[in-house]
Structure 1
């Protein structure tokens, strides 16, 4: 294995989720409408990392996201200037998950912020690497 290629995220509001990830800096590189009984199956790219964004299959109902389920809870993106990125996303109306009274807070070895996508996925923003 060499690196993570992509994660797949399902959404009930395709256009809102696509706009959200584009606001985070992802570029839409492929959009396939009517893909194997899904309204959309698309690929968004940030650096060498991809999100496969898809809607439910016809006659399938997706359950709501919860961070209390087994499996991935969130994914993290590295940003060079956390304060500037948070300010930019605040002006775009992105949903933050504040803690300790603010959108940026300190953890053991640095600061972070968490935002939530329209489908519920939690994305952590960090300006430091945990593992050296």
Structure 2
């Protein structure tokens, strides 16, 4: 999955420090982009890149075809939500709640620095 960002350092920190991805490769000045990097979480990889020189990327539209959000399973959803709230990240609420019940557990959706919707899920319920 490739994620483009206008805020490379914030996005890189988000995926590494907050979601636990490992930076595998960081390529500066990659085909007219400031950065093109690869991050890994287990066997899952993300390509994180900036727009091309002079390009300002538009916002993600959650009502589009193709990839809508990135879903990750976590051990303790309640503590993850507390962590992200303390850091000032925004959430997509359902019925006024950050965490809500779905089949097989709970979930929340937060917004990454570049606008990607990140769904965090657990199977412990609420």
SS in 1 for 2:49: strand
How many residue pairs were aligned?
123
The aligned counterpart of 1:107 is: 102
The residue aligned with 1:16 is 10
Alignment of 1:5-84 (within 5 A): 7-22=1-16, 23-84=18-79
Q: Find the counterpart in structure 2 of residue 3 from structure 1.
A: none
Secondary structure of the equivalent of 2:81? helix
In structure 1, the gaps of 5 or more residues are: 1-6
Q: Which of 76, 95, 101 is the aligned partner of 2:90? A: 95
Structure 2 unaligned spans of 5+:
none
C-alpha RMSD over aligned residues: 1.7
Establish whether residue 118 from structure 1 lines up as the match of residue 108 from structure 2: no
TM-aligned CA deviation for residue 128 of structure 1: 2.2
SS of equivalent to 1:101:
coil
Deviations 1:30-66 (A, max 9, x none): 2111111100001111111111000111243422211
What's the CA shift string for 1:77-125, capped at 9, x where partnerless?
0111111111122222222222222211112332101111121111111
Work out the CA distance in 1 between the residues paired with 2:55 and 2:86. 35
TM-score (norm 1): 0.84
Q: Do the aligned residues in 2 keep the contact of 1:66 with 1:120 (CA within 8 Å)? A: no
